[in-house]
Amino acid sequence: MHTLRSISKLLIISVSMVIIAGCAHTPPCDKHAEIHAIIDQANSVFYLDDRIWFQSIQAEIASQTIILRGEAFFKRPVQGIIKKIRKAGWDYPVLDSINYLPEKFEGDLSYGIITVPYVMGRYKAVSMKHEGTEMLYGEPVRLIREADPYIQVQSAVGYLGYIPKTALRTVELSEWNRYQIGPQAVFAASLELDVDLEIKMGTRLPYLDNDRVLLADGSELQIPPEHFQIVDPASNPLREAIITTAEHYLGLPYVWGGRSADGVDCSGFVMQSYALNNLYLPRDTDEMANVGRLIGLPGWTDALLPGDLLFFGGSRRLVTHTAIYLGADRVIHSLGSGVQIQSLNPDHEDYAENLVQRFIFAKRIFE
């Protein structure tokens, strides 16, 4: 009996020594939970809508080093996590080993055009269930990552989804722009063509001229005009009306929660500029960011038109600020001293470098 007790004591001592040794060169074991809690809270606060964007970051703690792993779309919130860890008192090195999306694709083929009548985008790389949203023929999408035989894309409305690789044509940015810029032929009814092509109701294709449209494979086809309506976003007079309304707010002070003639915050200013032209948007910036279709990303602003909305990120949340595009690289927004016009072009006197660094995407609310 004494022998068994002695063995038990030795085992307890041995296990304790192993645990102590395992914690000797890392932050104290009872403090690991604090670091994980900081990251979990940052992931939660960052959340906008994981159907469109997401951030999933975890920490691995070893050898007096904190290694950040997981996935994210933007670096700024990750930098915010590191600042929070520092503020909590941890001075250990923090290594960024996060997989940033979208992935890099060979030959700059980072974009795609849907080539089938429609395809379901799914939240997982599977052929059944987990439906997100359908993408229609000719729809421009952004490639996110490989999952052979599937590929994850971001649709024109922003939803992420896995689709078969056979459902799209991969293209460079210059070709992608052809499907984003200029007049669109919008089909109000489904149409079957003699060229073994089916166009579903709701499909939008770039309109060229003389009743010709740009097909998803890059070819052109003349279609009788009674089958579609031509929509030209650049010629919509509502754009000029919204800009005129927005400029009436110039000089008003920034007021948190404000949407009156005595002061406005960023989303209140945008909301009112639209509302006074009978377009109603959600009140807060993060809700507003879910409306409309993607029309701009870092490194791609060629398709922006006056009246489109730009969204900017911060170190704590994905979306923290919004502005109205004026054209010629300038925006009007409520920030700091109040409603003002600033430029995204470094050659301009009113260049706002911080805005450029924080820009994450732009949305088109109306055509």
Question: What is the pLDDT at residue 195?
Answer: 78
Asked if 146 and 165 touch (Cβ cutoff 8 Å), the reply is: no
Torsion of CA 218, 223, 228, 230, to 10 degrees: 70
Length of the chain: 367
Q: Cα(98)–Cα(55) distance, rounded to whole angstroms?
A: 10
Question: What is the pLDDT at residue 125?
Answer: 96
Give me the residues of the chain with pLDDT under 70, please. Answer: 1-31, 47-48
Give the class (CATH, top level) of 106-229.
mainly beta
> Does 130 participate in catalysis according to the annotation?
no
Asked if 338 and 263 touch (Cβ cutoff 8 Å), the reply is: yes
Residue in the block written with tokens 């009814």:
189
Question: In angstroms, what CA-CA distances link 176 with 1, 98, 169, 214?
Answer: 80, 28, 10, 12
Q: Cα(157)–Cα(217) distance, rounded to whole angstroms?
A: 21
Pairing between β-strand 160-164 and β-strand 191-193 as defined by DSSP bridges:
unpaired
The pLDDT tens digits of the residues spanning 309-344 come to: 999 998 777 899 999 999 999 999 999 999 999 999
Q: Cα(262)–Cα(251) distance, rounded to whole angstroms?
A: 10
Question: What is the pLDDT at residue 36?
Answer: 87
Q: What is the 3-class SS of the chain, one letter each residue?
A: CHHHHHHHHHHHHHHHHHHHHHHCCCCCHHHHHHHHHHHHHHHHHHCCCCCCCCCEEEEEEECCEEEEEEEECCCHHHHHHHHHHHHCCCCCCEEECCEECCCCCHHHCCEEEECCCEEEEECCCCCCCCEEEEEECCCEEEEEEEECCEEEEECCCCCEEEEEHHHEEEECHHHHHCCCCCCEEECCCCEEECCCEEECCCCEEEECCCCEEECCCCCEEECCHHHCEEECHHHCHHHHHHHHHHHCCCCCCECCCCEECCEECHHHHHHHHHHCCCCCCCCCHHHHCCCCEEEEECCECCCCCCCCEEEECCCCCCCCEEEEEEECCEEEEEECCEEEEEECCCCCCCECHHHHHHEEEEEECCC
> Does 333 participate in catalysis according to the annotation?
yes
Question: What is the pLDDT at residue 21?
Answer: 42
Q: Cα(184)–Cα(58) distance, rounded to whole angstroms?
A: 44
**How many alpha carbons fall within 13 Å on the CB side of residue 153?**
30
Q: Which residue is catalytic, options 25, 248, 266, 348? A: 266
Question: What is the pLDDT at residue 180?
Answer: 95
Question: What is the pLDDT at residue 26?
Answer: 46
Q: What does the domain layout of the chain look like in residue ranges?
A: 23-100, 106-229, 235-364
Question: What is the pLDDT at residue 207?
Answer: 98
**Domain 235-364 homologous superfamily, CATH:** endopeptidase domain like (from Nostoc punctiforme) (3.90.1720.10)
Report the CATH fold assignment for 23-100. Histidine-containing Protein; Chain: A; (3.30.1340)
Question: What is the pLDDT at residue 28?
Answer: 54
Question: In angstroms, what CA-CA distances link 160 with 31, 102, 109, 132, 241?
Answer: 36, 11, 18, 8, 33
